[in-house]
Amino acid sequence: MLDPRDADEIPGDLDPALRDQVAHTTAAALVRGARETEDPAVVDRLVRLVEREGLDVVAGLWSDAAPATLPGALWRLYALREWVRRDGEVVALRYRLGVHAAPVAEVVAGVASPPGPDEVRRVADDVLSGVYTGDLAVALERAAAFCRILAIGATHDADSREDVDADWAQRLTRGAASLQRTAEELEHSASLWRQGRLE
């Protein structure tokens, strides 16, 4: 039998408890540090973190974090921004398809009209900037509203493609459900932040 102390010395993946601690520590340090410095260059570097470090690095830090945590919320925001950055045309189309069914969410999301790729990318950047310089709860709520509109748009897109490509329509429907779940998670995180309980 391998002694537990010897087993701990074998190289491998981080212990889940340590990974969780690293996720929370890095997320808190980034948010607190940016808020204390108020340096626009620091905020810009943080908004573009994925472009500088890669999505896999950010995923390695935060993707396993529970949704209702600061690292979990940050992971969702960075993943959303990366999708918007890479597929601005698709995101803008889905936004246009969903926006009329969610007028309250449209106001909260704050996307300029008419929404094109540049407008949705600007909102994704503004949301992340808001994490570091504004009210974090408001930034999370804006992202949640944005996700809700995209979920509605994906559902409309799926409906229009059902007769042409049922498999693609089914994937879009699953994607809409995922966006809806993300919106709910971000709203919950916003509520926890306001209560001083988002860690």
What are the domain boundaries of the chain?
15-194
List, for residues 48-59, the tens digit of each pLDDT value.
999 999 999 999
Q: The whole model's pTM is what?
A: 0.90
Q: For 15-56, what is each residue's pLDDT tens digit?
A: 778 889 989 999 999 999 999 987 899 999 999 999 999 999
Q: What is the pLDDT of residues 55-77, one digit of tens each?
A: 999 999 999 999 999 999 999 99
Distance CA 192, CA 150 (A): 24
By the 8 A CB rule, do 189 and 140 touch? Answer: yes
